[in-house]
């Protein structure tokens, strides 16, 4: 291992250590605490409306299940378990990003590749601060490998099937966390189709995994949490359409 790699690895480890120190000295956000409680209720047989009220879609509950189960099996607090699972997600994502970066750029760009990885470590572990384990943080962790993977494809490289499967699984989790981010998925695929001038470019293992998981997730809402569709979702639509209804002209021109 050369000197540059040792420095890069040291910076990544330092980012993780500093992040752990920061997280151990701040309170978990109230919304993450509530989400842990909701997940506990869900695993105990509870459901929307009858046992808890939450406008967030069910996938956030699914993402918190590992933390709740870890707390149950180990006796750790739910907060500690959540942070441990998110750190594991972040480390796995960073490792996957490293693999993709290695395949994307030539060997002579080692300094550039190391700088990208260190930058990602700072973004994953330090930048979130009090937003650590928030929905947006989780989305970032899971879709970052996909965006780097798109760079790999744009450069005309042929990734392995194993890399495509793992990246697709990560991307599926990220995009299902907040369906509004499917716009990022759509625009990325459009870019790749334009880049390669072939619409079949989007017919890949990773995109198939994303769409399959998305279909399974939507189906699960109707099966496991029908109250979300029939009661919560209409409430959310009403809330947003009646609250955020300022005309674009006012939003753009009102400086006061």
Residue-wise pLDDT for 22-51, tens only, equals: 999 998 888 899 999 999 999 999 999 999
Total tally of structural domains belonging to the chain: 1
End-to-end CA distance of the chain: 56
Tell me the Cα Rg of the chain.
Answer: 20
**Per-residue exposure over 153-177, b if at least 16 CB sit within 10 Å of its own CB, e if not:** beeeeebeeebbebbbbbbbbbbbb
Are 19 and 11 within 8 A, CB to CB? no
pLDDT of residue 37: 94
| 48: phi then psi, degrees, rounded to nearest 5 | -55, 145
Question: Which tens digit of pLDDT belongs to each residue from 204-248?
Answer: 999 999 999 999 999 999 999 999 999 999 988 887 777 666 666
Determine the Cα–Cα distance for residues 32 and 51; give it in Å rounded to an integer.
18
Helices (H) and strands (E) in the chain, counts: 12, 0
pLDDT of residue 236: 85
pLDDT at 76 over 80: yes
Determine the Cα–Cα distance for residues 119 and 129; give it in Å rounded to an integer.
15
Are 139 and 171 within 8 A, CB to CB? no
Please name the residues in contact with 174: beta carbons below 8 A apart, sequence gap of 6 or more. 138, 139, 140, 141, 142, 143, 146, 181
pLDDT at 192 over 80: yes
The average pLDDT across 93-106 equals 92
Q: Would you place residue 15 in the very low, low, confident or very high pLDDT band (cuts 50, 70, 90)?
A: very high
The conformation of residue 126, written as its DSSP 8-state character, comes to: I
pLDDT of residue 67: 97
CA distances from 174 to 86, 143, 195, 214, 218 (A): 13, 5, 24, 10, 15
103 Rama class: left (phi>0) / alpha (psi -120 to 50) / beta: alpha
Determine the Cα–Cα distance for residues 164 and 207; give it in Å rounded to an integer.
9
Determine the Cα–Cα distance for residues 172 and 245; give it in Å rounded to an integer.
31
Determine the Cα–Cα distance for residues 39 and 59; give it in Å rounded to an integer.
10
Q: Can you give the pTM of this predicted structure? A: 0.89
Determine the Cα–Cα distance for residues 188 and 135; give it in Å rounded to an integer.
21
Specify the residue for token string 């050369």.
2
Question: Which tens digit of pLDDT belongs to each residue from 109-150?
Answer: 788 888 999 999 999 999 999 999 999 999 999 999 999 999
| 24: phi then psi, degrees, rounded to nearest 5 | -75, -10
Are 112 and 105 within 8 A, CB to CB? yes
pLDDT of residue 255: 55
Which domain covers residue 242, as residue numbers? 3-253
């Amino acid at each position: 291992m050369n000197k540059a790699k040792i420095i890069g690895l040291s910076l990544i480890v330092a980012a993780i250590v500093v992040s752990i120190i920061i997280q151990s000295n701040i309170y978990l956000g109230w919304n993450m605490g509530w989400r842990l409680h909701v997940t506990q209720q869900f695993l105990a047989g509870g459901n929307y409306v009858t046992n808890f009220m939450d406008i967030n879609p069910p996938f956030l509950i699914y993402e918190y299940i590992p933390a709740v189960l870890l707390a149950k099996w180990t006796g750790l607090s739910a907060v500690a378990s959540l942070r441990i699972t998110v750190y594991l997600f972040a480390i796995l994502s960073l490792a996957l990003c490293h693999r993709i970066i290695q395949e994307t750029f030539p060997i002579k760009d080692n300094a550039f590749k190391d700088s990208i990885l260190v930058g990602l470590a700072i973004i994953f572990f330090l930048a979130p601060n009090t937003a650590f384990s928030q929905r947006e943080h989780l989305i970032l962790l899971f879709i970052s490998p996909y965006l780097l993977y798109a760079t790999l494809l744009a450069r005309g490289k042929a990734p392995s099937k194993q890399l495509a499967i793992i990246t697709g699984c990560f991307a599926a989790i990220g995009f299902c966390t907040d369906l509004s981010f499917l716009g990022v998925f759509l625009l990325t695929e459009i870019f790749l189709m334009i880049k390669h001038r072939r619409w079949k470019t989007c017919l890949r293992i990773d995109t198939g995994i994303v769409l399959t998981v998305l279909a399974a997730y939507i189906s699960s809402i109707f099966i496991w949490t029908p109250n979300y569709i029939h009661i919560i979702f209409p409430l959310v639509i009403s809330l947003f359409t009646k609250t955020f209804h300022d005309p674009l002209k006012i939003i753009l021109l009102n400086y006061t």
